[in-house]
């Protein structure tokens, strides 16, 4: 072992603490005595071996640990010798400790003092947790129980054995080295991407929960951290990136007098989904789908940053002024709000609206209409039908309420086959009403240029034949009368 006996204050010159008999009453302040051993004998007093006559030694703010086998007798041996002879009987520490020591770390001391006495005297038997004892570095690590456990009344000087300022955090440390608590650097935070729509609590839970702090000794410790916004209040409907700053949760013995901090940028990744009734920011040229539907909107490529959109689903039962049409697909009320707070178009490009139409309909008959609030009328806009995807595409420069409709189809009557039981019932072409068959002369009006019906021509022919037969019969009758008259005369 390499003997280690470092300290700030000793009442007289001392070359070796271990294996030396002190012939005067001595006081040890802010010492670190460790890693010592004896080559012969029992090993008692490997760390400190003191003998006194009247005044016991005074030991404060000192570490005596890890000497020999780390028993109390090996770390600290005190002898009371009236003759003051090196041959005096060796005796362990048996006097009242409160008379000469406090604020110590002594290996094995818990074998002599109970827990209450140790607590009252601020004496510990725990490992002092040196920074790198295997490499001969006996500075205190960040987790050492010696930090801030000394007594300022027994401090010595303004610097520790390494030349560092004493009493860094309001209270002196136990041992020869004062722990240097001030953070010199922070690491461990990286910029992060999160999905659109998350709450601030969800975002911060995805950020690092600890940062690594480097101390003046070169030691690194992980410290809890929380995150606070550096910019405007968080808006979950915005695509704006967030700047957050880490706020360290420092333990009592670590300081950050230089206010070293870590700032991160949180980038919002768009989910390209528009939820009903939620106004949200949209990106230029992006393709957004409407919640729960195959309908979508493609934004213009020159859409100004921070433009927002809101989509409301329209209940078909609330549709008016469309008595001659039936709902054939999705109907949405779309509102666009530009960065200046108005709805007036600030883009030269058009929005592309893709509206889904219902299954089972004739694609040739479905069309997009928009509601003109000025005239309170639905205006036909048409659109290009995509049969494979089952939607209609329409380019629009502004938004209102858009929907897919189909014109009601008139019922086509089915004619009955002619039979011998009566006339055929059907629909009159001129009136569209159900009536008697068109052979009924009362249901016809002969107009100029119209051909007569075939039934009228046949009646005329029969009338002409009858008239001709009447003339022939009359002629024969008169001829016979005249002939009889002539015969009577002769």
Model confidence pLDDT, tens digit, residues 389-425: 999 999 998 888 999 999 887 655 544 444 444 333 2
In CATH, 185-269 is 2.60.40:
yes
The answer to whether 53 and 84 are in contact (CB under 8 A) is yes
Please report the pLDDT score of residue 241 as a whole number.
94
CB-CB contact of 125 with 106 (8 Å): yes
Q: What is the largest CA-CA distance in the chain?
A: 218
- State the Cα torsion 101-105-110-115 to the nearest 10°: 80
Residue 119 has pLDDT above 80, yes or no: yes
User: What's the CA gap between 184 and 221, in Å, rounded?
Assistant: 12
Contact between residue 401 and residue 392 where contact means Cβ atoms under 8 Å apart: no
Segment 247-302, tens digit of pLDDT: 999 998 899 989 999 999 999 999 999 999 999 999 999 999 999 999 999 999 99
What is the rounded distance in angstroms from the CA atom of residue 161 to the CA atom of residue 140?
12
Burial letters 413-450, b for 16+ CB under 10 A, else e: eeeeeeeeeeeeeeeeeeeeeeeeebeeeeebeeeeee
Q: Is 15 helix (H, G, I), strand (E, B) or coil?
A: coil
pLDDT level of residue 81 (50, 70, 90 thresholds): low
CA distance 272 to 349: 20
76-80 and 220-229 strand pairing = unpaired
pLDDT higher for 56 or 124?
124
Percent of residues, the chain, with pLDDT higher than 90: 48
Helix (H, G, I), strand (E, B) or coil at 211: strand
Radius of gyration, CA atoms only, the chain: 55
At 173, the pLDDT band (50, 70, 90 cuts) reads very high
Give the CA count within 13 Å in the CB-facing half-sphere of 231: 11
Length of the chain: 490
273-407 placed in CATH 3.40.47.10: no
- pLDDT, tens digit, for every residue of 424-436? 323 333 333 323 3
Q: Which helix (H) or strand (E) holds 457?
A: helix 454-489
What pLDDT sits at residue 25? 60
How far, in Å, CA of 179 to CA of 161, rounded?
11
35: pLDDT strictly greater than 50: yes
Q: Of 71-75, 201-205, 455-459, which one has max mean pLDDT? A: 201-205
Q: Which helix (H) or strand (E) holds 62?
A: strand 58-65
Q: Mapping DSSP to helix (H, G, I), strand (E, B) and coil, where does residue 30 land? A: strand
CB 284 within 8 A of CB 303: yes
Mean pLDDT of 467-490: 65
Domain edges within the chain: 4-154, 185-269, 273-407
Give yes or no for residue 93 having a pLDDT over 70.
no
């Amino acid at each position: 072992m390499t003997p280690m006996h470092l300290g700030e204050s000793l009442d007289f010159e001392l070359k070796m603490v271990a294996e030396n008999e002190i012939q005067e009453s001595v006081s040890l302040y802010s010492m670190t005595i460790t890693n010592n051993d004896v080559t012969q004998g029992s090993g008692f007093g490997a760390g400190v071996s003191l003998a006194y006559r009247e005044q016991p030694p005074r030991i404060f703010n000192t570490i005596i640990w890890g000497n020999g086998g780390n028993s109390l007798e090996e770390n600290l041996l005190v002898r009371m010798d009236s003759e003051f002879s090196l041959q005096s009987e060796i005796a362990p520490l048996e006097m009242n400790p409160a008379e000469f020591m406090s604020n110590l770390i002594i290996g094995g001391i818990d074998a002599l003092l109970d827990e209450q006495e140790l607590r009252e005297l601020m004496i510990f038997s725990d490992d002092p947790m040196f920074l790198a004892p295997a490499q001969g570095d006996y500075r205190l690590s960040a987790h050492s129980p010696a930090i801030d456990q000394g007594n300022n009344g027994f401090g010595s000087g303004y610097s520790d054995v390494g030349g560092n300022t004493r009493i860094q955090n309001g209270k002196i440390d136990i041992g020869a080295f004062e722990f240097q608590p001030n953070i010199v650097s922070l690491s461990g935070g990286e910029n992060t991407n999160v999905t659109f729509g998350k709450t601030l609590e969800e975002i911060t839970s995805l950020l690092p929960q600890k940062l690594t702090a480097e101390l003046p000794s070169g030691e690194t410790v992980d410290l809890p951290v929380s995150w606070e916004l550096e910019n405007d209040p968080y808006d979950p409907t915005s695509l704006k990136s967030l700047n957050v700053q880490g706020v360290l949760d420092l333990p009592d013995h670590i300081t950050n007098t230089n206010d070293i901090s870590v700032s991160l940028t949180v980038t919002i990744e768009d989910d390209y989904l528009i939820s009903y009734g939620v106004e949200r920011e949209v990106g230029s040229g992006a393709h957004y789908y409407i919640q729960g539907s195959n309908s979508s909107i493609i934004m213009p490529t020159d859409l100004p940053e921070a433009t927002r959109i809101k989509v409301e689903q329209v209940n078909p039962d609330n549709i008016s002024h469309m008595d001659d049409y039936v709902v054939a697909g999705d109907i949405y009320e779309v509102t666009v709000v530009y960065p200046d707070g108005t709805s007036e178009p600030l883009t030269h490009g058009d929005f592309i609206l893709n509206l889904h139409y219902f299954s089972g309909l004739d694609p040739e008959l479905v069309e997009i209409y928009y509601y003109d609030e000025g005239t309170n009328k639905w205006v036909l806009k048409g659109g290009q039908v995509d049969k494979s995807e089952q939607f209609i595409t329409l380019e629009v420069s502004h938004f209102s309420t858009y929907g897919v409709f189909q014109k009601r189809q008139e019922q086509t009557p089915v004619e009955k086959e002619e039979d011998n039981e009566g006339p055929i019932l059907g629909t009159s072409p001129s009136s569209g009403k159900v009536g008697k068959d068109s052979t009924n002369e009362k249901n016809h009006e002969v107009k100029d240029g119209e051909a007569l019906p075939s039934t009228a021509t046949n009646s005329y022919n029969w009338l002409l034949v009858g008239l001709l037969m009447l003339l022939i019969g009359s002629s024969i009758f008169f001829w016979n009368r005249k002939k009889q008259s002539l015969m009577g005369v002769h």
